[in-house]
Structure 1
Amino acid sequence: MESTESSYVSSPEEMARKRTPPPPKSLPTDPAEKPTYIRFLVSNPLAGAVIGKGGSTITDFQSQSQAKIQLSRGHEFFPGTTDRIIMISGTIDETLKAVELILEKLLSEIHAEDGYDAGPSTKVRLIVPNSSCGGIIGKGGAIIKSFIEESQANIKISPLDHNYYGLNDRLVTLTGHLDEQLRAIDMILSKLMEDTHYKQTMSVPFTYAGILFSGFHGMPYGHVPPVAPMAQNAVTYGTNVVGRRIQSNKEDQSNSKTIGVADEHIGLVVGRGGRNIMEISQVSGAKIKVSDRGDFMSGTTDRKVTISGSQRSIRAAESMIMQKVAYASERLMD
């Protein structure tokens, strides 16, 4: 008996379509949709305004902009400054929106503190890899001149600071009113996005030690080099092969300076297992020796911290040690 049900046979074209997998989703081709990042400095007192009570302000800014916003911790500053680092990542539009929200907040804090009636001319310092600065400057300074003319902001790029070993970032200072600064940042970020190296540095740890970001959103950035366990008594910390500067003459090694650090602060300066002081030694290129327990500076209860190396490395190490001491003092006052 024949079946009354009709059978359906696919055409060759339909069978070919079934065998062919769907095309993969294309990656964003519009530069505005590609991920990017920007970093800039904020003074330690004003950083609190960006964070807000219990992180409320920074959470709100992330929600409004859809960008990721991170800050270095309260005692971790950009080398040579006492300013913390803000890092914003997302698409260009998301990043620029977050920058605008943060700069508006900082400007309102300046208004409240100094009593400005009109928007003052202020400074924003961007952190840009040294290798990417040439693209902003352009041949004969042509690009940076055009950015200045179009944005009406004053733009200055600092030379690379060789006082800090391993530092490969420069500061780009934008001076002007908020709308001028935002136009300049838009132009600079769009230019940086053309640089393959800049996009690669987004996921690379910072070349200066000791900077981590608060975990408001995701894992912190940063790198802590491995260190040997700390001995109980006096220890001399020196750079390993990675951070070592080749000494060209005996004079570089003959300098030394001894400073006093309060006994109650020495633990934070040294760090667990000697981690903090090893980082300072690696970044500065100096050798650092901490005196034994009970061996104090004359007439004080300050432990002796002897720094040896070139004058430049001594200055760098002393600056970083003092930052640790300042943070230790803040913690004891809380």
Structure 2
Amino acid sequence: QKMEAPGSPYASSPESAPKRAPRSSPPPPQDRPDADHDAAEPEDDKEKPTHLRFLVSNTAAGCIIGKGGSTINDFQSQSGARIQLSRSHEFFPGTNDRIIMVSGLFDEVVKAMELVLEKLLSEGEESNEAEARPKFRLVVPNSSCGGIIGKGGATIKSFIEDSHAGIKISPQDNNFVGLHDRLVTITGPLNSQMRAIHLILSKLSEDVHYPPNLSSPFPYAG
């Protein structure tokens, strides 16, 4: 179905979440028991573990792993995030692409994504293959796509305006039993893609149904 975006500017749209006001109350004393402390203060979404999954070709997977795993180890130590790949024959259903999963705290995941994206874009510039055109495909559960699209398409439209990236969500593919994920394709220069990824990850981190982690980057095995 076609989504009509409302004509109102997004700044005044009721969909945009109110900014969290800074707490003016004094900090709690240090000797309070932890359980009480947890109950009193909601956890910030960015302090919780989260993850992102995205697709890469076998060639791109090789350049992210590096010789003897040197590149991926370097990216993990620089970012603090964990980076896992599906095995060489484990492709996202309907594609010949492997899945990379980056997991950790919000800022760790963002840092790792920057390192990976810079690497992919620099490799893409060296080879003039058609597939090297800078586009990035995130794997997002169906249940979380509604939050990214927003009412009448308002959220995705605001993300596109904010990041200046192209953002498209694939239709649900019913050809594969047990596939409950869709692809979010992001296009544009590196800084636009990173801004879009940041906005989408922020949205996913707020989604109570979005799991903080998966046991494997490839959850589709029979």
Amino acid at match of 1:113: S
Match of 1:193 in 2: 205
Alpha carbons of 1:176 and 1:121: their partners in 2 closer, same or farther (altered >3 Å)? farther
Alignment counterpart, residue 81 of structure 2, candidates 41, 53, 67: 67
Alignment counterpart, residue 115 of structure 2, candidates 84, 95, 101: 101
Alignment counterpart, residue 158 of structure 2, candidates 146, 152, 159: 146
CA contact (8 A) 1:78 1:85 kept: yes
CA contact (8 A) 1:40 1:85 kept: yes
**Shift, 1:204, TM fit:** 6.0
The C-alpha deviation readout for 1:173-197, integer Å capped at 9, x for no partner, is: 0011110000000000000111111
Match of 2:188 in 1: 176
Matched position secondary structure for 2:179: coil
**Shift, 1:160, TM fit:** 1.1
2:45 counterpart of 1:31: yes
2:138 counterpart of 1:126: yes
CA distance in 1 between partners of 2:195 and 2:158 (Å): 12
Amino acid at match of 1:81: T
**Shift, 1:30, TM fit:** 2.6
**Shift, 1:24, TM fit:** 2.0
2:54 counterpart of 1:44: no
Match of 2:172 in 1: 160
Matched position secondary structure for 1:199: coil
Matched position secondary structure for 1:180: helix
What TM-score, normalized to structure 2? 0.78
Q: Percent identity?
A: 65
Matched position secondary structure for 1:114: coil
**Shift, 1:154, TM fit:** 0.6
CA distance in 2 between partners of 1:92 and 1:161 (Å): 29
**Shift, 1:207, TM fit:** 5.0
Provide structure 1 residue ranges, at least 5 long, that are not aligned to the other structure: 1-20, 210-278, 280-334
Amino acid at match of 1:153: A
CA contact (8 A) 2:166 2:186 kept: yes
**Shift, 1:39, TM fit:** 0.4
CA distance in 2 between partners of 1:121 and 1:162 (Å): 28
**Shift, 1:22, TM fit:** 5.9
Amino acid at match of 2:121: L
Greater relative contact order structure (CA < 8 Å, 6+ sep) = 2
CA contact (8 A) 2:46 2:205 kept: no
CA distance in 2 between partners of 1:107 and 1:130 (Å): 28
CA contact (8 A) 2:124 2:133 kept: no
Provide structure 2 residue ranges, at least 5 long, that are not aligned to the other structure: 1-30
Q: In angstroms, what is the RMSD of aligned CA positions?
A: 2.0
Query: Considering only CA atoms, is the larger Rg found in Structure 1 or Structure 2?
Result: 1
Alpha carbons of 1:80 and 1:128: their partners in 2 closer, same or farther (altered >3 Å)? same
CA distance in 2 between partners of 1:187 and 1:179 (Å): 12
